[in-house]
Structure 1
């Protein structure tokens, strides 16, 4: 079971990484904070101070098209915000 699905790279998370040493990841829905902490430490070689998790609900959309009303939704996922120790950083743009 892979705990970390992918990193989240947005303007807000990138700014948090530069200022507060916090990085975001999409993680497995069944993973807990201890498993996430161990997976990040093993993958990126950093010391994790804290882990905050949240379940993101699916977004529902409705489109009015020529053929009628089309509705859909995105997938739900679990997001983890990981704070690493002062002086350490995770670089998502270089290959590991």
Structure 2
């Protein structure tokens, strides 16, 4: 169910929302606002994988250095490149 309400935006925010609509990224300013709220809802959600990952990184940073997990940046970068290539069908 949709409920009609009034929202006050700054001139700058309104211009930005209208530009997104003009560019075809959203059908209306209302949809721009709705997307912003949906993203905020995700940030607040415990099921957000990025927030969960950030919490895990913080937890691990509190561990003594001798308990840090080894990390090889070259191996990780190679895996990421391989996955991106698979998604592109290379």
Q: TM-score, normalised by structure 1?
A: 0.22
Greater helix share, structure number: 2
Greater strand share, structure number: 1
* Larger radius of gyration between Structure 1 and Structure 2: 2
Q: TM-score, normalised by structure 2?
A: 0.23
For CA contacts below 8 A with separation 6 or more, give which structure has more relative contact order.
1
